[in-house]
Amino acid sequence: MKNRIVMSAMTRNFSPDHVATEKTVKYYEARAAGGAALILTEGVIVHSTADGYVDVPHIQTPEQAHSWRPVVDAVHRAGAKIFCQLWHCGRISHSDFTGGVPPVSSTHQAAAGMNRQNGKPFGTPRALGAEEMPDIYGMFANSARLALDAGFDGVQVHMGHGYLVDQFFDARVNDRKDRYGGTVENRCRFALELLECVLAAVPKEKVMARISPSRDMGGIYDWPDLEEMIEHLIPTFDGMGLRMLDISCAAADYFATSGRVVRMARPLWPACLIGGASLTQGQAEGEVENGLLDLVTWGRSFIANPDFGARLADGRPVKEFDRAMLAELI
Ligand SMILES: Cc1cc2nc3c(=O)[nH]c(=O)nc-3n(C[C@H](O)[C@H](O)[C@H](O)COP(=O)(O)O)c2cc1C
């Protein structure tokens, strides 16, 4: 990698037919040419029943995967690497997005609040039976294989932000009475079995996981039993051969959220650790120099400044992100 600057996964709704488009190519090419060493794509849905958003890409079929080939080639020509983020929304969805079937989750309780994508309450999910879990793991393994066939340098398994895998981790959501709920070990089991399948499907060094044990959700929100979860999960990830871990806080203050988790995880994690969220250059350098992070992620700065990486390296001023840019800019 040419530097330690990573562009975070960000959904952009450029894909009405669930494939990468000309817009997708231009968007990522500009960020790669603009100095990011590694790009994590927007969430890409592993199966049509895993969707929860409008106009987001899928990676269930070879055709969908191959639509990314021009994106990958353009990013590589610009000297950067690119990983495909694999995404299952679980209950953060509605049957409007899953082909008419109820979304699945760890629980049968609907998420609170409204789905901004269709202006309706989140759909009532169906709690997955233990016997159907291998099908979900298979969706991720299939998508991981397809992504590598399409030329991606690796995949990032999205285990954060309240989506399906997080719905198993989080004791406030997971109300199961079987071996996938209750204790710390049980709540980590779905993620670990899923990861095992992905690690068996593609070379281990091409797999990254993203977790978000502490993030802003209308106030700072930590997983219940955060420390015990980290003490179980991180060494288990390591023992399985996972080599890249992204600790995210969605869009919260890093030092109040994932920066704390990074400090808990680092002594337990000998491999590549990735994190960030709108850090200043000095803060990012501090985290790297103190051995906490190996690579630093930025999201919104890359939307506002396609050449954010180069600006950071040269110490040039950067434009502030504002939400209107999501509609205006590619
Ligand atoms: C428009 C937008 C879309 C996002 N979509 C995703 C996503 O698809 N997957 C994901 O893991 N995180 C997503 N995020 C979270 C970002 O990856 C990142 O963690 C967050 O924006 C904090 O970093 P920042 O402060 O540098 O922007 C999204 C953030 C934004 C602003």
Q: Could you tell me which residue, 327 or 27, shows the higher pLDDT?
A: 27
Distance 251 CA to ligand 1 centre (A): 7
pLDDT at 116 (0 to 100): 86
Question: Is the CB–ligand 1 distance for residue 10 below 6 Å?
Answer: yes
Q: At what angle do helices 69-77 and 22-33 cross, to 10 degrees?
A: 20
Distance 43 CA to ligand 1 centre (A): 10
3-state secondary structure of 298: strand
Question: Is the CB–ligand 1 distance for residue 162 below 6 Å?
Answer: no
Residues 102-116 pLDDT 10s: 999 999 999 998 888
Query: In terms of pTM, does the model score above 0.95?
Result: yes
In this structure, are residues 209 and 159 in contact, taking their beta carbons and an 8 Å threshold? yes
**Whether residue 162 has pLDDT greater than 90:** yes
CA 39 to chain centre: 12
pLDDT at 322 (0 to 100): 94
Q: How confident is the model at residue 183 (pLDDT cuts 50, 70, 90)?
A: very high
Distances (CA, A) of 36 to 81, 107, 265: 9, 38, 25
> How wide is the angle at C-alpha 254 spanned by C-alphas 249 and 291, nearest 5°?
110
- Rounded to the nearest integer, the mean pLDDT of the chain is 97
Residues 84-100 pLDDT 10s: 999 999 999 999 999 99
What are the phi and psi torsion angles at 217 (to 5°)? Answer: -140, 70
Proportion of the chain above pLDDT 90, given as a percent: 95
**Minimum CA distance residue for ligand 1 atom 29:** 10
Tokens of 325: 């840019």
Residues 207-244 pLDDT 10s: 999 999 999 877 899 999 999 999 999 999 999 999 99
**Whether residue 41 has pLDDT greater than 90:** yes
**Minimum CA distance residue for ligand 1 atom 31:** 300
Sign of CA dihedral 200, 202, 208, 209: negative
Atom of ligand 1 nearest to the CA of 326: 1
**Minimum CA distance residue for ligand 1 atom 13:** 10
pLDDT at 76 (0 to 100): 98
Question: Is the CB–ligand 1 distance for residue 81 below 6 Å?
Answer: no
Query: What are the residues whose beta carbons fall under 8 Å from the beta carbon of 173, sequence distance 6 or more?
Result: 105, 106, 107, 109, 162, 166, 167
Distance 157 CA to ligand 1 centre (A): 14
CA 180 to chain centre: 22
pLDDT at 218 (0 to 100): 77
Question: Is the CB–ligand 1 distance for residue 49 below 6 Å?
Answer: no
Which CATH number is 288's domain given? 3.20.20.70
Query: What are the residues whose beta carbons fall under 8 Å from the beta carbon of 243, sequence distance 6 or more?
Result: 204, 205, 207, 208, 271, 272
Which residues are catalytic, by number? 163
Count of domains forming the chain: 1
**Whether residue 329 has pLDDT greater than 80:** no
Cα 277 to Cα 300: distance, rounded to the nearest angstrom: 9
Residues 186-195 pLDDT 10s: 999 999 999 9
Domain limits for position 160: 5-327
pLDDT at 217 (0 to 100): 78
Question: Is the CB–ligand 1 distance for residue 88 below 6 Å?
Answer: no
- Of the given ranges (41-45, 219-223, 293-297), which has the lowest mean pLDDT? 219-223
**Whether residue 4 has pLDDT greater than 80:** yes
Q: How confident is the model at residue 117 (pLDDT cuts 50, 70, 90)?
A: confident
Question: Is the CB–ligand 1 distance for residue 52 below 6 Å?
Answer: no
Mutational pocket test of ligand 1: of 11, 165, 247, the residue with most ligand atoms within 8 Å of the beta carbon: 11
Mutational pocket test of ligand 1: of 10, 210, 247, the residue with most ligand atoms within 8 Å of the beta carbon: 10
Question: Is the CB–ligand 1 distance for residue 8 below 6 Å?
Answer: yes
| Bridge-based pairing state of the strands 126-127 and 104-105 | parallel
Question: Is the CB–ligand 1 distance for residue 300 below 6 Å?
Answer: yes
